[in-house]
Amino acid sequence: MKILKIVGRLIWWGVFWVVVFGALWCCWIYQQIRKGEMRDYAWSASAIAVFGAAEYNGRPSPVLRARLEHALDLYKDGLAPVIVTLGGGRDPQFSEGEVGRDYLLAHGVPDRHIIAETDSQNTEQSVQALARIAAANHFQRIIVVSDGTHLFRIRELCLAQGLDVLPSPRYVGQPIGSWEQAQRYAHEIASYALWRLHLH
């Protein structure tokens, strides 16, 4: 009985410290996401990479359009000569990368200054595709554009691929509700933690 009590206490304390450590780690991830959300590191680079978001029958969703508009501003400011649009998606007719390319073409960016990646299905695959594109085109530094809450994870994934990136959050138009914001944070915290633990 004494042995069982000792084992039970050890298990209880083990679970307790795992929970404490997990909570502290999640708080640290949250702080990193907040930092990435509030700072724009855009500077002179070889290319601008726009991470995909939903498209609706060949048209960019408001989120994707905001990311593309931000990339356009950076391009027009002369910060990089090439824009890479990333993303496949579930639509059998259109991809996020394709829709992004078409949007940029319609707004005056020459086709030779656009590279569309159309196969990746998630952030990690998009980063892997970006690494291949960067190697093929000898890109030294890349401005990465997405939502602010997304950029910490993108930066970490890019660093793991050996990419030198400058995170630049897209402009937020309408204020986001607290519940939706909490969901975004929870998604990014969980996604980053699972990637770090190799459980994705």
**Residues of the chain whose pLDDT is less than 50?**
none
* 65 found inside a domain: yes
pTM for this model (two decimals): 0.86
Range of the domain at 73: 37-196
pLDDT of residue 174: 63
Nearest to 192 by CA among 29, 20, 28: 29
Q: Look at the alpha carbons of 113, 52, 151, 180 in this order and tell me if their dihedral is positive or negative.
A: positive
pLDDT value of residue 115: 98
User: Are 152 and 192 contacting, i.e. CB atoms less than 8 angstroms apart?
Assistant: yes
Q: What's the CATH code of the domain at 122?
A: 3.40.50.620
Q: How many domains does the chain have?
A: 1
Q: What is the pLDDT of residue 198?
A: 81
Check residue 92 and give its pLDDT: 83
Predicted confidence at residue 199, as pLDDT, reads 56
Please check whether residue 50 is in contact with residue 100, taking contact to mean a CB–CB distance below 8 angstroms: yes
Does 20 fall in a domain? no
The model's pLDDT over 25-49, given as tens digits with 9 standing for 90+, comes to 778 888 888 887 778 999 999 999 9
Amino acid residing at 138? H
